[in-house]
Structure 1
Amino acid sequence: MEQQIKSEFNNNGFLLQDEQQILNKCLTMCVQYKLSPTDLVSSWDAFSLNRGLESTVHSGYIDAFLQQLQNEQKDVLEKKEPGLHLYSHDVSMILNDDYEDSKEGILTTPTSKIEKASHEQSDSGLKSNGSIFASAKPLDSVTPFGVRKNRFAVQFTLNKTATSEPMNVESRTQTSEDDIIKRPQPTSRCSLEINKSHLEPGCRFMYDRVEDKFNFLENRIMKHAKALAASGLNEEPMDPTVASQKTVFAVGMICCEEEGRLKEKPIMLQSSVEHSGGQRVRLDLQKVEQFSLFPGQVVGIEGHNPSGHCLIASKIIDHIPLTVSTDGNTRPTKKQATQELQSADLPPATPEISLIVAAGPYTTIDNLFFEPLTELLAYAKRKEPQMLILSGPFIDSEHPEIKKGSINLTYDEMFQREIIGRLQDYVECMGSTVLVILVPSVRDAHHDFVFPQPPFEVYPSEIRHQIHSITNPGTFSANQVNVACCTVDILKQLSAEEISRNATGESKHRLTTIANHLWNQRSFYPLYPPAEAVPVDFSLAAEVLEISSIPDILIIPSDLANFVRVLSVGKINDEEEIKCICVNPGRLARGEGGGFFVELNFKGHADSTTASVIRI
């Protein structure tokens, strides 16, 4: 029959692009819908004429053609039994002879919608063509994401020995028999320790008071002042608002005189209550050769204030030496409360781990089919990383269909079905050694709108040992590799507020400078006042936003240009330089097309780590 189908296509002037794949699908259609090759090709001829397609038959249009055949069969059934109303799910069961078998399952014990959604199997073909989350776009049309070119193209590599190569997932067919016999297995099982915090699912938030905000800002200034004094490189901080001809050292927070940006208003320095009663003084930066400042930044200033109204700065200290903690201890100890969620065999002597890192949205703006997520998981099945790190938004509140409210499930049910359901299939396919880390976002429609954020609740108990959720921001350790994640777009927000000046003849990479502000301020979110779209709860921020130790990998998704960079954090006692890998994976979905993700292999040190930014 395949030869007959091919002959019919050729006789009607059609060329088959992926011949074997198309013939396999067409053969299935003929058997399933009891069509002859002639009838099938005639239906395709009408389908292509109505849509103005070329004479070449692409495999991407076959699924849309299948949807049209289902609609035609539905019309036939309705004519046979007038008054019968059929849903798309019913048509699929009837055409596949599953309708009678399904009747036995109707009178069963009721279950919750969430539990039911979490157990539904994810079918990529149904999701991309017959999904209940259909947009206003006709279902028989092919999405721009589905017909894109240059799939899985490597855009950038860190170190030339990176193993990532362009790969077309669809070029390799896979059957259910392959899933059983050739199931991929990650190289080894990795350990996992997630840092605990007081943020738990269902915790109280947005009860912060003005007192909480005041204490948060005051504590930040005082911690920096004590740390700079404990370093021995500076004098004790003094009141910068007092008139004096002598050079003084002051510590305070950069702020604007009024609402607005630093570029438009005079720059002010607000000192602590202890040193100046919380008063502000204007800063004169004409004598400073280089600086990078933003609202909320805590800095040390050397200068003099001859009139009492303006502090003329001669030097700006925007970082704390690594040998000093913000508590003022000269040799800080890393006391972090951790909860060992998964114990492995003995961890490797050298910290090593393979990761795939991606950030939402996970579906394009023209539909809710979650095609980018499906293809990312297909790529991960072939590359076999030890860990998959996915950061939100998962159910994007900015998606046009979410804004219109055109879906018929709750956001939580949608998350369990579209995200957790696919991830459950992934971990079952990969085996018990693979791990998935989920990081929430303030744009997640199904989660708490607060920053910092508690972790997600993963409902299916059988996958909780493989699929974990952390706070936003959050830190964890896998195979002795420390990883920190924050999904708030702090890079973009700091870029909009920062003002800088470079020394004559010097040029610095702006994104690197902005990322270094996080280390220098020992904070995941040093900006104040926060951006309008970020609902900061200052009663929760004190503990969670502080960076107590430098991680090996920092993941900060942003709308800005994606990158993977090795950042030099500093030296401890003139010894080996401390470095960190900073990763901005970009967005997995961009508009109606695919975006980017990062594949990373950490091998003991930042300089020996390989990574690739891959366009999906």
Structure 2
Amino acid sequence: MADPEPDAVSVPLPVSVEAVLRELALFELRCDGADVTDKLLELCLSHSLDPVTLANELLAFVTSKALDPQLSPEALSAFEHEVLSRRDRRIPPPRRTDSRCLHDVHTLQGLHLLEEEEEEQLLDSYCTPAKGPQKRSSSTPENPHPKRSSSTHSPYKLLTPNSFSPSAAPSPQYSARTNRGSVVASFGPIHDITWEGRGGVDCTPKPFSPPERSLSRSYSFMFQRAADVREVLLWRMEQIGAALRSHHCIPEFGSLLLPAQDSVTVLGRIGCDSNGKLNPKSAVLEGDRERSAGAQIPLELSELQEFSLFPGQVVVVEGTNSTGRRLVVSKLYEGVPLPFHTPKDPAQGAAGGGQCVVLVVSGPFTPSDSVAFEPLQDLIEVIARQRPDVCVLFGPFIDTKHEQVESCRLLLPFAELFRLCVRSLLDGTRSAGTHLVFVPSQRDAHHDFVYPQPPFVCPELPKEDKARVHFMPDPCTLDINGVVLGLTSTDLLFHMGAEEISSSSGTSDRFTRILQHILTQRSFYPLYPPAEEMNVDYESFSSFASLPVTPHVLIIPSELRYFVKEVLGCVCINPGRLTKGRAAGTYGQLCLQPRWDGEQKNPCVAAQVVRI
């Protein structure tokens, strides 16, 4: 048998009504009447379609238009006019398959544009059409269609939703908000403050801790042993116990194991005697290793008028242990905060030349029902308008709890989408000169799921932006002209709020109690055992999750209600989330005025929480 000619054109097979009806039945598309079947056969013959292609095109048309699966002559006429006629105009002339055909830059560009147009048409056919009339701009030599690569020149075009999601549309609930820009919480004389910065002039953030105490790269985790965890917990107990003993002038600590009729003072860690939540009847004290050999004893708290306890809290307890089986507590020492940082050179703060405006923003940066990243674009406009000196950006940037991330409907890899967010922020804030500080979150889909969490890695930064972009770990302490900021994206308020128990004779604020625990326990995450959603590596925890000093400002984003308050001399702020589900959220602003003239005043003179 002779071989077929290489340039022979294949002749389509004959089309039968039975074949067409069989393919339509696979997609539950029905048709009754000879006029409908004749029309289907006519469409196949006049537009050179095989039954499979016709069924696929009809399914896309019926789905996008939300039509009845029962096909009618009117629907087929509309299908021919809107789909097949446009498809015929789009079919290119036959291409030579000869390998000797050479392409120049113009033919390659034409083929590339044709492939892009076919992809866009295919996506459009499966997407729900937007309401209202839409006009497609025509491409001319004077006004050509923009190439995809040209979007990198505009920060607002980088995050074009159709580039990474086939069903992207702005969130109607976010777009319909009416209270944008309103102040919902404040601290200090906010009306006397000018909330416009100087674009980072004489205001450079840097890690407060030395390099050997700062987490700067990824590390191996999931290899810790129970003995290593125990050593870290006992080390923390000894550190805090020494501070309590020195502060309260306690002669020595006793043992939990020895019954005594007299009052005894013991050091230990609060725990629970069961797998349930802590309550006053289930509280136990786990003693230290040196004096109590790590033994546990139930606590009787009925004689205490006021207390606030949580699992993992290191305390010193004074009480009676007459039987050796229960400790009746009469006094509780809960902890002592670290001192504040004061620069060795008082002129360090004055070198900043005045106040420093800091923006504090926590993700998610797009509503849960959209990937249009409208909140991120609105934030870029705020930065460009106010020119803050520093903007601290907490994750999640690519939220694991987002609807389209959970259902795997994004077309781009998570890491690539994060790079688009970074590029949008860089291009949109370059003229403002604002320093950008990125802090990761455990909910970032593209990053290491471990605590402490290493900083993001983004080596493709432009040279002109490297000096003003800072990737920090979670948690960390930041130094801005001598002012120390404690940063963590972990929702510790929510985790500790679910475990803390308290008793108070007067009005008691749970947020204030939890913040006091964080400062007096000298840790960014003093809760033990940690929340189920946390993956804590305690070997790194001992090195990178402790507070080196009491920060002047503690920034602790949470799902709970936003606030700004001063606790133990530290200004604590929960800026809220930029988006909360499908609704718009809030962000924070700080005004720092470093002053080291001997007055014990916090350099954060004002703060506020603003709706995006």
Normalization by structure 2: what TM-score? 0.73
Report whether the alignment pairs 1:235 with 2:238: no
Note the residue ranges of structure 2 that are not aligned, 5 or more in a row: 1-64, 67-80, 93-113, 125-134, 595-600
**Which residue, 223, 233, 236 being the options, matches 1:207?**
223
**Which residue, 238, 251, 268 being the options, matches 1:222?**
238
**Which residue, 184, 198, 201 being the options, matches 1:188?**
201
Correspondence 1:245-394 to 2 at 5 A: 245-263=261-279, 266-320=282-336, 322=338, 348=351, 352-394=355-397
* Aligned partner letter, 2:164: F
Supply the distance in 2 between the matched residues of 1:378 and 1:76 (Cα, whole angstroms): 43
How big is the alpha-carbon RMSD for the aligned residues of Structure 1 and Structure 2?
3.5
* Aligned partner letter, 2:332: I
CA contact (8 A) 1:388 1:435 kept: yes
**Which residue, 110, 120, 140 being the options, matches 2:152?**
120
Cα deviation, 1:198-240, whole Å, max 9, x if unaligned, reads 5332322222111210111111111122222233521211102
Question: 1:552 Cα deviation (Å)?
Answer: 1.0
Supply the distance in 2 between the matched residues of 1:75 and 1:355 (Cα, whole angstroms): 57
**Which residue, 142, 145, 148 being the options, matches 2:177?**
148
* Aligned partner letter, 2:174: F
Question: 1:420 Cα deviation (Å)?
Answer: 0.6
Supply the distance in 2 between the matched residues of 1:601 and 1:98 (Cα, whole angstroms): 51
* Aligned partner letter, 1:600: L
Report whether the alignment pairs 1:82 with 2:95: no
Give the direction of change, closer, same or farther, for the CA distance of 1:333–1:126 in structure 2 (3 Å limit). closer
* Aligned partner letter, 1:420: V
Note the residue ranges of structure 1 that are not aligned, 5 or more in a row: 1-49, 52-71, 107-115, 168-183, 324-331, 337-343, 570-578
Question: 1:321 Cα deviation (Å)?
Answer: 5.9
Question: 1:288 Cα deviation (Å)?
Answer: 0.8
Q: Hey, what does 1:60 align to over in structure 2?
A: none
Q: Hey, what does 1:524 align to over in structure 2?
A: 524
CA contact (8 A) 2:308 2:502 kept: yes
* Aligned partner letter, 1:193: K
**Which residue, 588, 605, 608 being the options, matches 1:609?**
605
* Aligned partner letter, 2:371: L
Give the direction of change, closer, same or farther, for the CA distance of 1:74–1:190 in structure 2 (3 Å limit). farther
Question: 1:94 Cα deviation (Å)?
Answer: 7.8
Supply the distance in 1 between the matched residues of 2:82 and 2:140 (Cα, whole angstroms): 13
Q: Comparing 270-279 with 454-463, which one deviates more in the overlay?
A: 454-463
* Aligned partner letter, 2:284: M
Correspondence 1:32-111 to 2 at 5 A: 78-82=87-91, 86-88=118-120, 95-97=138-140
* Aligned partner letter, 2:441: S
Give the direction of change, closer, same or farther, for the CA distance of 1:161–1:465 in structure 2 (3 Å limit). same
**Which residue, 483, 486, 500 being the options, matches 1:484?**
486
Supply the distance in 1 between the matched residues of 2:280 and 2:544 (Cα, whole angstroms): 32
Give the direction of change, closer, same or farther, for the CA distance of 1:524–1:145 in structure 2 (3 Å limit). same
Supply the distance in 1 between the matched residues of 2:83 and 2:163 (Cα, whole angstroms): 17
Q: Hey, what does 2:413 align to over in structure 1?
A: 410
* Aligned partner letter, 2:180: R
CA contact (8 A) 2:198 2:389 kept: no
Q: Hey, what does 1:565 align to over in structure 2?
A: 565
CA contact (8 A) 2:380 2:429 kept: no
Q: Hey, what does 2:40 align to over in structure 1?
A: none
Indicate the SS of the match to 2:606.
strand
CA contact (8 A) 1:191 1:347 kept: no
Give the direction of change, closer, same or farther, for the CA distance of 1:485–1:407 in structure 2 (3 Å limit). same
Give the direction of change, closer, same or farther, for the CA distance of 1:398–1:372 in structure 2 (3 Å limit). same
* Aligned partner letter, 1:400: E
**Which residue, 182, 187, 201 being the options, matches 1:158?**
187
Indicate the SS of the match to 1:443.
coil
* Aligned partner letter, 1:86: E
Supply the distance in 1 between the matched residues of 2:229 and 2:195 (Cα, whole angstroms): 49
CA contact (8 A) 1:365 1:592 kept: yes
Q: Hey, what does 1:548 align to over in structure 2?
A: 548
Give the direction of change, closer, same or farther, for the CA distance of 1:420–1:211 in structure 2 (3 Å limit). same
CA contact (8 A) 1:241 1:311 kept: no
Question: 1:608 Cα deviation (Å)?
Answer: 6.3
Supply the distance in 2 between the matched residues of 1:101 and 1:376 (Cα, whole angstroms): 31
Cα deviation, 1:394-433, whole Å, max 9, x if unaligned, reads 110111100111112111111001x2111111332213xx
CA contact (8 A) 1:563 1:583 kept: yes
Q: Hey, what does 1:441 align to over in structure 2?
A: 441
Report whether the alignment pairs 1:134 with 2:165: yes
* Aligned partner letter, 1:500: S
Indicate the SS of the match to 2:431.
helix
* Aligned partner letter, 2:555: I
CA contact (8 A) 2:195 2:591 kept: no
**Identity of matched residues, %:** 30
* Aligned partner letter, 2:250: N
* Aligned partner letter, 2:276: G
Cα deviation, 1:330-357, whole Å, max 9, x if unaligned, reads xx99999xxxxxxx99953787421110
**Which residue, 572, 577, 580 being the options, matches 2:570?**
580
* Aligned partner letter, 1:192: P
* Aligned partner letter, 1:581: V
CA contact (8 A) 2:198 2:388 kept: no
Which protein has the larger Cα radius of gyration, Structure 1 or Structure 2?
2
Indicate the SS of the match to 1:151.
coil
Supply the distance in 2 between the matched residues of 1:351 and 1:304 (Cα, whole angstroms): 56
Indicate the SS of the match to 2:172.
coil
Q: Comparing 308-317 with 453-462, which one deviates more in the overlay?
A: 453-462
CA contact (8 A) 2:200 2:390 kept: no
Give the direction of change, closer, same or farther, for the CA distance of 1:252–1:96 in structure 2 (3 Å limit). farther
Give the direction of change, closer, same or farther, for the CA distance of 1:424–1:349 in structure 2 (3 Å limit). closer
Question: 1:603 Cα deviation (Å)?
Answer: 2.2
* Aligned partner letter, 2:413: T
CA contact (8 A) 1:249 1:303 kept: yes
Q: Hey, what does 2:402 align to over in structure 1?
A: 399
Q: Hey, what does 2:102 align to over in structure 1?
A: none
Supply the distance in 2 between the matched residues of 1:187 and 1:224 (Cα, whole angstroms): 38
